[in-house]
């Protein structure tokens, strides 16, 4: 979803989470360097894209 960048509001509605829970997940993803926050958008990093591919393969 955030491969091309997404605002927090879009992410919250797309994955059906409330803002508090989404904030915690986004912070964790940033700490793990799977996403970055740039110009108001959350963008998947290269490391995040690799993780996403692996998670898809093992059906997480």
- Measured CA distances, 13 to 2, 8, 59 (Å): 13, 9, 23
Task: Please give the average per-residue pLDDT across 13-35, as a whole number.
Answer: 94
pLDDT band at residue 1 under the 50/70/90 scheme: low
| Residue with more model confidence, 59 or 48 | 48
- DSSP helix/strand/coil, 37: strand
pLDDT band at residue 48 under the 50/70/90 scheme: very high
Domain ranges of the chain: 8-57
- The pTM (predicted TM-score) of the whole model is 0.83
Mean pLDDT of all residues belonging to the chain: 92
Pairwise CA distance, residues 18 & 34, whole Å: 21
DSSP designation for 16: T
Task: Please give the average per-residue pLDDT across 15-37, as a whole number.
Answer: 95
Pairwise CA distance, residues 60 & 4, whole Å: 22
């Amino acid at each position: 979803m955030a491969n091309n960048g997404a605002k927090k509001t879009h992410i919250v509605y797309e994955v059906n989470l409330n803002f508090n829970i989404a904030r915690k997940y986004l912070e964790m993803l940033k700490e793990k360097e799977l996403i970055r926050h740039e110009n108001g958008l959350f963008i998947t990093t290269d490391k995040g894209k690799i993780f996403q591919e692996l998670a898809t393969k093992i059906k997480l």
